[in-house]
A = this chain, B = another copy of it.
Amino acid sequence: MENVTIKDIARALNLSTSTVSRALRGSYEINPETKRLVMEYAEKLNYRPNPIALSLKGSSSRAIGVIVPQIANYFFSQAINGIEAIAYNRGYHVIIFQTHESYEREVANVQQAMARKVDGLLISLSSETSDVNHLQDLLQRNLPLVQFDRVSEELNTTKVVADNYAGAFAATEHLIKSGRRRIAHLTIPRWMSITQERLAGYRAALEQYGIPFDENLVRYGTFGPDEALGMVDELLAQSPRPDAIFTASDRLALGALAALRQRHISIPDEMSIIGFTNLNVADLLSPSLSTVVQPAQEIGQAAAERLIELIERKHRAMPPNTVVIPSHLEVRESTRVASSTAS
């Protein structure tokens, strides 16, 4: 029942550990007969190579690190699900680290991941992170690194992201076509990649339909709790009032929804909401909100696939590129009604 080692097999078969080791990995310079013997015995004893010893030896640890802001988040939990699925059937394990949106913890987590000798690292930046030297170091050490969702252009790595620009464009366009003109944008910290991409899509749609961009309609949040209410109140204080809200996250969408209810604003008559969310949340919100659905799981899968490619073909120089996974607009009643109102 105790763990079987190469030594055990060697002793039992009167061989040396090196022979057993070679036989096990099917070395061509070994007697087929011996090989068979070893294989069978190993099978019988249910031998499994000790990954710890392998890691120490310096070869692969068969583990990949995943650094995310939070696990208890619809997007990331689904992304991790996708990552784990790919990793599992490629024989890798997933070690998870949470930054809780803290730069310090991100740095610490990177160090820990290195100490654990992960074969590669998947990372989605914390909202506090602007300096990426801790990751530049890794690249210089040639560690396989893939960024996903929240990425930094300063890092020359493969990136896997949702099509934030197109998603934001589609959402804004849909609101415009539903007859809305004063479309507010509730979003997340200014400097993040996803914030800027979504803002750009929002602006582009406004421009295309000849609606002037109004700085006052854009509100940047942090990831703090319950901040949507304050933001919504600020918007409601303006005149004329906004007639729609496009939010950059599921939390803000839900927060805005709750805030409008609390202020007795009727949806969709007085206001429409479209949020950037993901499948789980979209289902839950049905039929009250239209949403831009982020393919969280696919992003995770794609990121894991790229990383494992990188790990296993380290020698070959694959140029880093950016993989954009489409996000699609899922139209629900609230905006449909508004749409008919507008026509």
Which residues from chain A sit less than 8 Å from chain B, CB to CB?
Answer: 1-3, 48, 50-53, 55-56, 61, 63, 70-73, 77-78, 80-81, 84, 88, 93-98, 111-112, 114-117, 137, 140-141, 254, 258, 280-281, 283-286, 297
Contact = CB atoms under 8 A, between A and B. Distances in A.
A3 B114 contact: yes
B70 A93 contact: no
Given A93-B97, A94-B95, 12 more contacts: A1-B137, A1-B140, A3-B115, A50-B115, A51-B115, A51-B116, A52-B115, A52-B116, A63-B116, A71-B80, A71-B84, A93-B112
B93 A93 contact: no
A116 B55 CA distance: 10
Contact of A117 (B52, B81, B111): B52
A285 B53 CA distance: 49
The A interface is mostly helix, strand or loop, or mixed, namely helix
Contact of A81 (B70, B141, B280): B70
Nearest to A58: B52
20 contacts: A1-B141, A2-B141, A3-B114, A48-B115, A51-B115, A52-B56, A52-B115, A56-B56, A63-B95, A70-B81, A71-B71, A71-B84, A72-B80, A93-B95, A93-B97, A93-B112, A94-B95, A94-B96, A96-B96, A258-B286
What is the total number of copies of this protein in its complex? Answer: 2
A297 to B, nearest CB: 7
Contacts of A52: 52, 55-56, 61, 115-117
Contacts of A283: 254
A117 B63 CA distance: 13
Contacts of A281: 284
A174 to B, nearest CB: 22
B96 A84 contact: yes
